[in-house]
Structure formats: structure tokens, C-alpha cells
């Protein structure tokens, strides 16, 4: 079927706009926290996987850290285990940690790897007790239960995988006794971005970006502005709180740019990094 002149012009415009960004980020590492609606709706899942394969094909090195909140909730509901949250972090009891670990490592991680491979990519699962490359300890706030904070990540495992493949990382840490700990996926992504000296980090969410007091999306902000916003308890609440805290932490540790993007928008990641406008909030150091 012949393509119309208007369609041809639109396609050429998009490709032309993307070229300088492809050249800029070729050979660079971009850490992407994948979660929310982009992970649950079929069309969005497929477009995300295809976009990640495209990034790798043009020379960008994407590293995926995934969440799995809805899948965890579904599994816990089956077992009549109620979930509660504290400042956007799931309180993880001893009775639920094994379910959380199995869902993230054995179900969600595998599904993402399979989907990337279905588009001709080569993904590598980095999950489970066998790899246990995320060393962690229990977080100091005992109210959170079996929630961990990262002590160390074996970078060599990730860097070796990223040479020819797309690493897909589960946010489960392992303590000295090789017991699993639930770690906030945003924290894992930000720790990785800092440790690997990534060009940027992208956090996918179910909102259009970070908003001001009036509810208007903030397209760009500085690290100084982000620090100011997070101190205002009326501005940032719920799941956005750990996201912004993680972003501030990794920008302080040398990552240049962080993006909070709306995963409900098809091709959100590509639009954010390969166009001038983007679809979320850019926070720069």
C-alpha cells in the first residue's frame, strides 16, 4: 500500500528529529525503571519492548529494572494477605516476602525477557537467588518488615550482560543469610544508575509527571528545585515520594539527568529521549 505524502513527511520529520539524539546517546547507558500501566496493558507492554529493542539496535544501552505491584497484589489477594503502604513503600511481612520474591523473579522478570526476545532483542534475566547480585540489608525502619536497602551491587555481572544483551533486573535483594528482601524498584534503578555512571535514568509512572501546587505538570526542574519540593509535604505524596527521593539521591551521586515519564503514553521512553518535547518531567543536576 502506497504511503501518502503527508504521512511520509510526518515520518521523515520524526526520524530527522531523532537523529541527533541517537548520535548523542549512542554507546551510553540509560537505566529505565519499568512499571505501572505500561507493564499491565497489552499494547503498552508490546510498544515498550519494541522501543527497548530499537534503542539497543541503534547503539544505546538500556538497562531495565522492573516493578510488579499489581502482580504482587493479585498473588497476595489469592492468599488473603492484605497489603499496606508507608510513604509509598509496601510493608512486607515475613508471610508475604516469599510470594513477593517469586512473583518478581519467576513471573514478571520472565515475561519481560520473553517479550523483548519476541521482538528480536536479546534480553538477559538478572533475578533469583542463584544470581543474588544485589546485596542488601534490612531497612532501618522496622515498621516496613522485610524491606531492604542496597549494600552493594556486583556491577561486573550487569556490565558483562549489557555488552551484547539487555539486562532485565528484578528489585529483590539478598542478605548475608541469602534471604530475600523487597527493595523499592526506584531505589534499585537509581543505585544502578549511580554505580554504572549512566547517562540518565527514566522512571515510568502512571501520572503525566511531577506537578506543582496547582496541579500543573512541571516539564523541567533543577536538583535545587527538587529538594525544595520534597520538603513540602503538601506537594509530594504517596508513590511519588520515594521516586523523587531516589532521583535526588542519584543526581547527588553524579547522574546528570532523571526523567519521570507517563507510562500510559505509547512509546513514552522513546518520546522522552529522542524528541525535544518529551512526555514527562526532566530533573537535571
The whole-number pLDDT of residue 244 equals 87
Q: What does each of the 285 residues of the chain score in pLDDT, given as a tens digit?
A: 566 666 566 666 777 888 999 999 999 999 999 988 788 888 999 999 999 999 999 999 999 999 998 899 999 999 999 989 988 789 999 999 999 999 999 999 999 999 999 999 999 999 988 777 899 999 999 999 999 999 999 999 999 999 999 999 999 999 999 999 999 999 999 999 999 999 999 999 888 888 877 778 888 999 998 888 887 766 676 677 778 888 998 999 989 899 999 889 888 898 888 887 777 889 998
The overall longest dimension of the chain from CA atoms, in Å, is: 64
Tell me, yes or no, whether 62 lies in a domain: yes
Tell me, yes or no, whether 211 lies in a domain: no
Tell me, yes or no, whether 196 lies in a domain: yes
The whole-number pLDDT of residue 38 equals 84
Tell me, yes or no, whether 224 lies in a domain: no
Tell me, yes or no, whether 132 lies in a domain: yes
- Domain count of the chain? 1
Tell me, yes or no, whether 32 lies in a domain: yes
Q: Which residues pair with 205 in a beta bridge?
A: 262
The whole-number pLDDT of residue 237 equals 66
| C-alpha distances in Å from residue 53, one per residue of 81, 121, 164 | 37, 5, 12
Three-state SS sequence of the chain: CCCCHHHHHHHHHHHHHHHHHHHHHCCCEEEEEECCHHHHCHHHHHHHHHHHHHHHHCCCEEEEEECCHHHHHHHHHHCCCCCCEECCEECECHHHHHHHHHHHHHHHHHHHHHHHHHCCCCEEEECHHHHCCEEEEECCCHHHECEEEEEEECHHHHHHHHHHCEEEECCEEECCCCCEEECCHHHHHHHHHHHCCCCEEEEEECCCCCECCCCCECCEEEHHHHHHHHHCCCCCCCCHHHHHHHHHHHHHCCCCEEEEEECCCCCHHHHHHHCCCCCEEEEEC
Residue 123 and residue 36: Cα distance in Å, rounded? 20
Tell me, yes or no, whether 235 lies in a domain: no
Residue 100 and residue 73: Cα distance in Å, rounded? 9
Tell me, yes or no, whether 218 lies in a domain: no
CB 58 within 8 A of CB 65: no
Residue 272 and residue 202: Cα distance in Å, rounded? 9
Domain range for 90: 27-201
CATH of the domain at 134: 3.40.1160.10
Amino acid at each position: 500500500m502506497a504511503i501518502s505524502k503527508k504521512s511520509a513527511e510526518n515520518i521523515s520529520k520524526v526520524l530527522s528529529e531523532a537523529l541527533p539524539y541517537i548520535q548523542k546517546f549512542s554507546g551510553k547507558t540509560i537505566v529505565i525503571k519499568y512499571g505501572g500501566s505500561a507493564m499491565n496493558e497489552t499494547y503498552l507492554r508490546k510498544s515498550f519492548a519494541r522501543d527497548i529493542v530499537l534503542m539497543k539496535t541503534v547503539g544505546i544501552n538500556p538497562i531495565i529494572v522492573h516493578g510488579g505491584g499489581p502482580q504482587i497484589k493479585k498473588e497476595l489477594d489469592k492468599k488473603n494477605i492484605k497489603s499496606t503502604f508507608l510513604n509509598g513503600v509496601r510493608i512486607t511481612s515475613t508471610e508475604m516476602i516469599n510470594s513477593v520474591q517469586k512473583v518478581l523473579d519467576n513471573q514478571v522478570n520472565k515475561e519481560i525477557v520473553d517479550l523483548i526476545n519476541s521482538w528480536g532483542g536479546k534480553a538477559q534475566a538478572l533475578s533469583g537467588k542463584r544470581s543474588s547480585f544485589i546485596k542488601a540489608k534490612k531497612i532501618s525502619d522496622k515498621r516496613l518488615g522485610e524491606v531492604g536497602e542496597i549494600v552493594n551491587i556486583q556491577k561486573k555481572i550487569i556490565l558483562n550482560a549489557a555488552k551484547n544483551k539487555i539486562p532485565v533486573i528484578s528489585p529483590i535483594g539478598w542478605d548475608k543469610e541469602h534471604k530475600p528482601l523487597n527493595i523499592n524498584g526506584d531505589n534499585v534503578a537509581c543505585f544502578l544508575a549511580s554505580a554504572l555512571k549512566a547517562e540518565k535514568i527514566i522512571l515510568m509512572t502512571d501520572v503525566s509527571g511531577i506537578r506543582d501546587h496547582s496541579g500543573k505538570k512541571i516539564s523541567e526542574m533543577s536538583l535545587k528545585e527538587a529538594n525544595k519540593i520534597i520538603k513540602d509535604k503538601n506537594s509530594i505524596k504517596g508513590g511519588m515520594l520515594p521516586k523523587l527521593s531516589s532521583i535526588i539521591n542519584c543526581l547527588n551521586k553524579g547522574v546528570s539527568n532523571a526523567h519521570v515519564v507517563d507510562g500510559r503514553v505509547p512509546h513514552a521512553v522513546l518520546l522522552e529521549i529522542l524528541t525535544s518535547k518529551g512526555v514527562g518531567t526532566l530533573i537535571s543536576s
